[in-house]
Amino acid sequence: MSGNSFGHLFRISTFGESHGGAVGVVVDGCPPGLEISESDIQVELDRRKPGQSELTTPRKEEDTIKILSGVFEGHTTGTPILMLAHNKDVKSEDYNDLKDLFRPSHADFTYQAKYGRRDWRGSGRASARETLARVAAGAIAKRYLKEKLGVEILSYVEQVGGIKAEIAHSSVSSKMVESSMVRCPDSEMASKMIDLIKQVQSEGDSIGGIIRGVIRGAPRGLGAPVFDKLHADLGKAMLSINAAKGFDVGSGFGSIHLRGSQHNDPFEAKDDGTVHARTNNAGGVLGGISSGETIVFRVAFKPVATISKEQDTVSTTGTPVKLSAAGRHDPCVLPRAVPIVDAMAALVIMDHYLRHKAQNS
């Protein structure tokens, strides 16, 4: 396996490099009849694209998406959907001084170890530019889940460095998330996060944080025993995103501070006879299968590896080198990672919905 495809029944394969001709994706398994257009997908891509605020890389890419197959007369046909966005603002010369170096905490060293060669222009395939393709594919899944099942998927920046939003995820709306350039729905904390990112940026450094993911209205029964647990696939999806270093669901690592009597979610029957959990420490997943409660998870992102502060490294021949990286880079990946988290969550839920439907129809 090449590692460039994701999903089973709703399967995507991405292609392209940061400084190549284009980035794109093939989406296979999308049900026919979904109303979708390039403009619907572009909305999500505009949330991810570079140059959208002073907190992001100044690279100017419109990320204009083109649908080349699988959609006819405004609706999906059930055949593979090919989408493509051409790279425009490519400045490979920014990387000329880096082609013979191993940048600290980058994939330069490991790609060289695996393939014996690497595309040094903007990290090539290892660049976060590849996530454009995921967001395009996720936009289709997200629309299907919303239109056909009423599932709402959103994520937001919960923490940057030591600054954490004090807001209940149940009260957060997409409008609140988009009201701030840092995509934090807590306006007071958002302002502090922005100031911190600007400070770090002025120092030639970078900073990480946490994105909270929320999936509302997911059907019960999604997921499979043992190896295909729903939260396991969500974890794989999130940890495949560039700079992602940690994942937890529900109370997650916080559960270590609780007793079983505190952490367990008691069931209760409603007046209509339906069964629900009174609390949701499990994060909407029990035994790897969705319970019908809101699915809640967190993704931790490291500080961006490319910084202008001087660092120690070596050349490809092992010669010690002092490196102060140039180029155009985000001081904090979190604001642009929010739509990527949305997309990967949508891809997982969509795939598991189709698998559940195939098994139980």
Give the burial class of 240: count Cβ atoms within 10 A of its Cβ; 0-12 exposed, 13-18 middle, 19 or more buried. Answer: middle
* Mode of pairing for the β-strands spanning 295-301 and 244-249: antiparallel
Task: Say if residue 1's pLDDT is above 60.
Answer: no
Instruction: Identify the CA nearest to 285 among candidates 332, 352, 351.
Output: 352
List, in order, residues 6 or more apart from 256 with CB less than 8 Å away.
Answer: none
- Distance, CA of 228 to CA of 216 (rounded, Å): 21
* pLDDT for 118: 83
% pLDDT > 90, the chain:
75
List Cα–Cα distances, 63 to 21, 129, 175, 182, in angstroms: 12, 10, 23, 20
Q: Three-class SS of residue 243?
A: coil
Task: Say if residue 258's pLDDT is above 60.
Answer: yes
- Distance, CA of 146 to CA of 353 (rounded, Å): 13
* pLDDT for 330: 86
* pLDDT for 87: 87
Residues 138 and 241 sit within 8 Å (Cβ to Cβ):
no
Give 84's DSSP letter.
E
Residues 295 and 243 sit within 8 Å (Cβ to Cβ):
no
Q: Structural domain boundaries of the chain?
A: 5-360
Biggest CA-to-CA distance, the chain: 73
Instruction: Identify the CA nearest to 41 among candidates 130, 142, 148, 154.
Output: 142
Residues 137 and 347 sit within 8 Å (Cβ to Cβ):
yes
CA dihedral (130, 48, 355, 25) in degrees, to 10, reads -40
CATH architecture of the domain 5-360 equals 4-Layer Sandwich (3.60)
List pLDDT tens digits, range 314-343.
Answer: 998 899 999 887 666 789 999 999 999 999
Q: What is the CA radius of gyration of the chain?
A: 21
For tokens 């026919």, name the residue: 32
List pLDDT tens digits, range 152-208.
Answer: 999 999 999 999 999 999 999 999 999 999 999 999 999 999 999 999 999 999 999
